[in-house]
Structure 1
C-alpha cells in the first residue's frame, strides 16, 4: 500500500502527533495489512456467523452502506483505522447472504468482489479440535478457471492477500497445520478449512491426514469492481531499494535450487602438476624408447 498523502506537508504540534504521522509515512517494507469487517445494517445470522468464522479476532462495525454505490464510508474507515483490506456483509431480498471482499490503495478502493453465500457450515457446527489463533494457513486453489478467467484471477489474488497473514522468515514443521482450500467448478467457489494431523509412519517423514475443521462455505460470484490495468500496475510498483540486485551467471530452477556458472580459461593438461609416486616413475627401458624416438634426454648437473 503506497501512501501518497505523505506528500502533503503537515507540521505536528505534539510529539504524539509526530509519531502518528511517522507511522503513516511511506516505508520501503510495508507493515502487515490489517482487515476491517463491516456488518451491514440488515445482515442476518448467516452473514454474521460467516464474518465471525473467517477471522478469529472479530471487530464488528455496524454501518448501513452500499459499497458498490457509495465508497466514501469505506475509505473513511480505512484511513481512520489504517486498514487496507475489508469485508462487508449484508442481506436483502435481491442479494441474500451477501459478502463483499476488497482492498484499498492509498485509502481508495482498488478492487472488490461480491460473493453470495449459498451454504454455510460454521465452526461451532463441527465438533473437533481447532487450530490455535495466529496460525499461518497454507492456501490451495483448485480449478482451471483461476488461471483462465480474469475475474477469478483477481479473486485468487485477493484471497491470497486477505488470508496470507504476516511474512515470516522461517516456519517449523508442526506449524504447518492449517489448510484453506478453494475449489472453483461449475460457476461456484467452495471454501473448505482443514486441520493437518501428523501421524506416525514408521519413518522420518510423518503420515499426513486432513480433518475438516470449519468454516465451510459454498459461494457464488456476483458483481465485481476491478481496477484498471494501469492503476493495478501502479499499486504493485516497488521502490528500487527493495528490489533485489540481479547477480550475473546465477539461475534458479522451479524447486528453488541455485545454480552458478563459472567461466575458466582453457587448461594445458601437459603442464598439470600431479602427485609424484614411485609407481608412476618411468623405467630405464621406457626412457631409452623415448630417446630413440628423438626425445632429448634430460641433462643433469654434475657434481
Structure 2
C-alpha cells in the first residue's frame, strides 16, 4: 500500500510566508548557496571556501558546525540542508590523505541532486594577502571563461554552466559603466581551472572611453578536476526548461536587424496605379497651361472620331 504523507498546515503568518516563498515562480528569486564544512576539513580549504562565501554574500549562508558527510557516497544530508534552507546551490569542503584540500560544488533541482563537481584546491592565496582596495558586497561580477575545453569538452561545458549558476546575481535591464567593477576569470588548461579575481580600474584616457586596467584582488586558486556526478541530458533539459509564459511569441512579418531597428512587411493586393488619386495638395494641382495642353491633345482625337462616324453614315 502507498504511504500517505501528512500535510502540515502553517499556523503562523511567518510560516505561511515561508511556504509561499518556496512555491514555483515564473521568475525565480536569487539562488542562495550553502557553505558546509566537513568533519576533516583543513584550515587551508576552509579559508578558500570562506573567500568564495565573501564573494557570494549576501546570497550565501555559512554553516559553522562540522558535518560527517560523504557527498559522493550519500548525498541525502546535503539535500536535507537544501530543503531546510531553501538553497539550491552548495559548497562542501573536506580533507583526507587520498584527496587533500577537497572542494565540492554542486546544485539541486527540486531539492534532489542535479550536478556535483569535486575539485582539489592548489596554490591558494587568500583575499587578505592582496593589499589592494576591495569591491563592495553584493556587486554583480563579470564572468570570463578562457580555454577550448569549455567549448569542446561536455564535462567542462557543464562545469562552466555550474560556475555561471553559482556566481549569477539579479537579472538587470540596464548596467551602469561604473558598476562594472569585478571580474572573475576561469581558465581551463590540462585538467585544471585557474580561478582569478580582479577589480576593474578606470583611468583617464583623454577621450569619452576610459582606459581600463585590471588589478588582482584575490582570492587566487587552481582547481584540479577530480570527480564529477552530472545529471542526464533529459533531467538537465527539464531543469533548464523555460515556462511558456516567458517565451516571446514570434510575430509574423516583423524582423529586427543587427542594430536593433524593427522592420515590418506589408502585403497588398494588385492595385491600378492609373486610378489612384495622387494629387491632393494644392501645390501639386495642374496649372491652367497644363489643362489647356491636355484639352488640345484630346481635341484631334474627338475630331477624328466624328469624321469616322460621318463617313459610316454616308
- Please indicate, yes or no, whether the TM-score normalized by the shorter chain is above 0.5: yes
Question: Superposition pairs for residues 284-303 of structure 1, below 5 Å?
Answer: 287=293, 291=297
User: CA separation of 1:294/1:205 partners in 2, compared to 1, >3 Å: closer, same or farther?
Assistant: farther
**Equivalent in the alignment of 2:240:** 236
Q: Could you report, residue by residue, the CA deviation over 1:137-186 in whole angstroms, capped at 9, with x for unpaired residues?
A: 01111111111111101000000000011222322110011111111122
2:116 to 93, 112, 116: 112
Aligned length: 289
Asked if structure 1 preserves the Cα contact closer than 8 Å seen for 2:140 and 2:169, the reply is yes
Distance across 1 between alignment mates of 2:253 and 2:163: 36
**Equivalent in the alignment of 1:93:** 97
**Equivalent in the alignment of 2:253:** 249
The structure with more radius of gyration: 2
Distance across 1 between alignment mates of 2:116 and 2:199: 29
1:38 to 36, 39, 53: 36
Distance across 1 between alignment mates of 2:280 and 2:187: 63
User: CA separation of 1:16/1:129 partners in 2, compared to 1, >3 Å: closer, same or farther?
Assistant: closer
> 1:219 aligned to 2:228?
no
Distance across 2 between alignment mates of 1:47 and 1:154: 23
User: CA separation of 1:240/1:285 partners in 2, compared to 1, >3 Å: closer, same or farther?
Assistant: closer
> 1:189 aligned to 2:193?
yes
Asked if structure 2 preserves the Cα contact closer than 8 Å seen for 1:47 and 1:90, the reply is yes
User: CA separation of 1:267/1:180 partners in 2, compared to 1, >3 Å: closer, same or farther?
Assistant: farther
> 1:65 aligned to 2:69?
yes
1:152 to 149, 152, 156: 156
Asked if structure 1 preserves the Cα contact closer than 8 Å seen for 2:105 and 2:117, the reply is yes
Asked if structure 2 preserves the Cα contact closer than 8 Å seen for 1:140 and 1:181, the reply is yes
Distance across 2 between alignment mates of 1:217 and 1:30: 31
Question: Superposition pairs for residues 139-178 of structure 1, below 5 Å?
Answer: 139-178=143-182
**Equivalent in the alignment of 1:135:** 139
Displacement, 1:251?
A: 3.6
Asked if structure 1 preserves the Cα contact closer than 8 Å seen for 2:254 and 2:265, the reply is no
**Equivalent in the alignment of 1:27:** 25
Say which is worse superposed, 151-160 or 262-271, in terms of deviation: 262-271
Q: Which runs of 5+ in 1 are unaligned?
A: 1-6, 297-303
Distance across 2 between alignment mates of 1:208 and 1:294: 82
**Equivalent in the alignment of 1:299:** none
**Equivalent in the alignment of 1:273:** 279
Q: Could you report, residue by residue, the CA deviation over 1:246-269 in whole angstroms, capped at 9, with x for unpaired residues?
A: 32233445x572533321436766
Structure 1-normalised TM-score?
Answer: 0.85
Displacement, 1:88?
A: 0.7
Displacement, 1:81?
A: 0.7
1:198 to 197, 202, 212: 202
Q: SS at 1:126's partner residue? A: coil
Distance across 1 between alignment mates of 2:90 and 2:265: 50
Asked if structure 2 preserves the Cα contact closer than 8 Å seen for 1:192 and 1:217, the reply is yes
Distance across 2 between alignment mates of 1:128 and 1:261: 53
Structure richer in helix, relative to its length:
2
Structure 2-normalised TM-score?
Answer: 0.82
RMSD: 2.8
Displacement, 1:55?
A: 2.4
Distance across 1 between alignment mates of 2:252 and 2:89: 38
